[in-house]
Chain A
Amino acid sequence: MLQTKLRSLAPKNDVVSFLILAAILLVALPILFDIFRLNLIGKYLTFAFVALGLVLSWGLGGILSLGQGIFFGLGGYAMAMFLKLEASNPENTQIQSTPGIPDFMDWNQLTELPWFWEPFHSFGFTLFAIIALPALFAYIIGAAMFKRRVGGVYFAIITQAIAAILTILIIGQQGFTGGVNGITDLRTLHGWDIRTDSAKYILYFINVMLLLATLVAAQYIRKSKLGRLLVAMRDSEDRVRFSGYDVANFKIFIFCIAGIFSSIGGAMFTLQVGFMSPSLIGIVPSIEMVIFAAVGGNLSIFGAIYGALIVNWAKTILSESYPELWLFAMGAMFIAVVLAFPKGLAGIYESYVQPWVDKKLKAIQDKKAKK
C-alpha cells in the first residue's frame, strides 16, 4: 500500500532526474566553479524558486501571473529589513543625525524607526513574515480575483499592474523603504558575516537544500489529487465546477503556494547578493521570471530549475563578452525558444533525448535477453 503510494508519488524517471539535479547542484557545480561563480549560480537559483512556483500555478493550474516579482520582493525586503536593522547599530551609524536607524532614513530626515520596521528586529518574526506575508498577499489578490471568476489574460494584466504599483510605492516612500537605491550594505546575520567566502559557500548549500525541498513539495502537489484537479481545471474549468468542486479555492491555494516559493527565493537572494532593490519587483523582472519557466518548459518542475540556471548563465556570459550587444542575443534566444520549442527545454528532452535513451536502453535489454 505504502509502496504503491510512494511509487505513484515518485515515478522512477523523476527519482533519477532528482538525483541527477541534486548531484549537479551539490557536487558538480561546487567542484567546477570558484566561489565567485558559485555565488552567482546561487543567485540564479533563487529565481528557480519563482520558476517552480510558476510551473505549479501556470503550467499546472493555467494561472499566468506576470507579477511574481511582488512575492520575490516581499521575501527579499523582509530579509533585507532584518539585516539592515542589524547593520545599523548605533556604533556603525555614529555620523548620522539620528544614530541607530538605517542610513537612508537619516538621509530622508526621519528621526525614529517607523512602526512596521520594529518587528523585523526579530529573526523569528522575519522568517515567519517571509512565509506569511506573500501567502496573505496572494490570498487577498487571489480571493479578490478568482471568487469573481477573473482569470486568463485579465488576471495576468492585474498582477502586472500590482507589480508596477508596488514598485512605485517603494520608490516613492524612500524614507521608509530606501527608494530606488533599495536596501544596501547588509553585513551580518546574528553576528555572522554573510560577505565572507565561507559564508557564501554555506549560503549556497542552504539555498540548494531549500530548493530541493521546494522541488519535493512541488512534486508532491503535482502528483496529489490536488494536482490532478488543477490540470482538470486548467483544461475544463466548468466541468470541474459542475462536478461540485469550489474552483476558486483551489486556484487561490496554488497561487499562494507559488507566492511562498517566490518569497523564499527572494529572501535567499538578499542573503547571497547582499542587497534588495525595487528593480527586482517591477514588470520587467516579473516577466523575466515567466521567461525562465517558459524556457525550461512550463510543465516541468525540473525544466524550471534548468531554465532559470541557463537563462541567467547566458545573461552573465553574453553580457561579459558583448557589453553593448548582449540584449539582442538574449532576445533572439527567447524568440527562438518560443517559436521552435513551445514546451521549452523539457519539451526538447521529452521529444528527442528521452526516446533516444529509451531506445538505447531497450537495445541493451534486448541484447541481454538474447544471450
Chain B
Amino acid sequence: MKKTISSSRPGTTRRTLLKGLAALPAAMILATSSYAADVNTTGLSVTDDTVTVGILHSATGTMAISETGSIQAEKLAIEQINASGGVLGRQIKYIQEDGASDWPTFAEKAKKLLVQDKVAAIMGCWTSASRKAVLPVMEQYNGMLFYPTFYEGLEQSPNVIYTGQEATQQILKGIDWAKETKGAKKFFLLGSDYIWPRTSNKIARKHIEKLGLKVVGEEYYPLGHTQFNSVINKIKLKRPDVIFTTVVGGSNVAFYKQLNAAGIDLTKEKPLVLTLSVTEDEILGIGGENVEGLYASMKYFQSLPNDNNTAFVKAFKKRWGDDIVIGDVTQAAYLGPWLWKAAVEKAGSFDVDKIRKTLPGIELTTAPEGYVKVHPNHHLWSKSRIGHAKKDGQFKVVYESKELIEPNPFPKGYQ
C-alpha cells in the first residue's frame, strides 16, 4: 500500500494536468470552476469535478436506531447540493463508514477517512463518547467534523463544527418558559448517568436557583435502566411542578409507561414533564399514547410551520419513505453539508485551514429550523423552542424564543 501511494503521485499530477487541459475551454466559459490544485493545497481528495467527504455514524449496534436519521439527512443534503451544481463546480462524493456503536471503531474509521481517503470534511458522530474518541484524530490530522447532536458543551475544538445546541441553549429558555407560562416553582431533575445529563442538570440547577426557584430532587440511573418505580414514588412524595428529564434511549420506554401506570397523566401537567431528550424519533419507540402532553425543549420539531421546513420534510419523505419522522438531530445533521458548502465557497478553497477562517459568520437562510449562523466558537446561533407532544407522535410548537440564542459552551457561573 505504501508503494502504491508513493508511485501514484506523479501519475495523479499528470492526470490532473491532462484533465485540467481538457477542462480549459469549460473553465473559460464557467468562471466559477477552477483547477483542483488551486482550491486544494493540502492534498485532499479533490479532482476537477468531484470532492469526497466522509459520513461516519453507527449503521449497526445499539446507536444505529438514533444515527440512521442523521445518515439519511446528510445523504439528502449532499444529493441536493449535487443537484444544484455541487460545491465550487464539483460534485460531492461520499464515503460512508460504520462506527458500529463502538468508540474505538469511530476513532479508527475517522483516521481512515482522513489519512487514507483524504476526505475534505466528515459529517458524523452522535454520542459524546464517539466524539471524544474522534476528537484527537481530527485535531492531529487537521480534519473538519460536523457534529449534529445537542450535547453538554464544555468543548470547543478548532476541528469541529457543532450544529446541534449546546446545553445552555437548550435549557435556560425552557426553564424560563416553565416559570413564566406555567408558574412552576419546584423542579425534580432526572437523568441517565453519563456526562450529558449530569452537565445539563448542573446548568439547570444553577439557573433554577438563580431564578429563586427550588430543586426538590436530582437522580441518575444507568444507561438502559428500566425500573423507575422507586423514583416515581419519590416524585409523588416531593410533589414537584416540573419533572425535568434527560433520560436517554431505551430507558424512556420504561419511564413513560411506568409514569402512566403510576397514575401520572402527562396531559394534566401535575406535574408537567419537560424533556431534553425525547424527539420524534424516540416517540416512535415509546408510543405516542404514552407521551401525549409531554413538553420537549429543543431547536427543531418536524411540525415547525415555515416554508423551508415544509420543503425539507417533503424532500425527506420523498427520498426516504412516507412514514419516516424527523427529529431535532436529523435536522442538525442536514445542516452540516450545507454549512460546509457555504464555507468552502466563501473561502474559494477546500483547505481546512481556510474554511476554518470563513466558517464563523456563515449563515443559512434556508435551514429547516429557520435561520442559523455560525458563532466564532464553532457552535450555531439558534432559537429555543418548546414542543407539546400529541398522540400521533408529533409536537405542536407552543413557544419560540424571539431572538437567536447565543451559544455559550463554557457558561460562566454555571460550572
Contacts and interface: CB of A to CB of B under 8 A. Distances in A.
Contact of B135 (A184, A323, A324, A326): A184
B108 A40 contact: yes
Contacts of A37: 1
Interface in A282-327: 316, 319-320, 323-324, 326-327
A43 B104 CA distance: 10
Interface residues of A, number: 40
The 5 A-B residue pairs with the shortest CB-CB distance in the complex, in nearest-first order? A323-B98, A34-B2, A181-B129, A36-B115, A184-B132
Interface string B128-155: 1100110110001000000000001010
Nearest to B60: A327
B98 A185 contact: no
Contacts of B152: 107
Interface string B219-255: 0001100000000000000000000000000000000
A326 to B, nearest CB: 7
A361 to B, nearest CB: 34
B202 to A, nearest CB: 7
12 contacts: A32-B2, A40-B108, A107-B198, A107-B199, A109-B202, A181-B128, A184-B133, A184-B136, A185-B135, A275-B104, A319-B98, A323-B96
**B interface, how many residues as a size bin?**
35 or more
A182 B133 contact: yes
B59 interface: yes
A107 B195 contact: yes
B112 A181 contact: no
Contacts of A327: 60, 100
B102 interface: yes
B104 A104 contact: no
A320 B59 contact: no
A151 interface: no
A179 B195 contact: yes
Interface of A: 31-34, 36-37, 40, 43, 95, 97, 104, 107-109, 168, 171-172, 174, 179-182, 184-187, 195, 273-275, 277, 279-280, 316, 319-320, 323-324, 326-327
Main DSSP-derived SS at the B contact region: helix
B173 to A, nearest CB: 23
A38 B96 CA distance: 22
B2 to A, nearest CB: 4
B199 to A, nearest CB: 6
B100 A319 contact: yes
Contacts of A180: 129, 194-195, 223
A283 to B, nearest CB: 13
Interface in B326-378: none
A273 B98 contact: no
Contacts of B84: none
Contacts of B105: 319
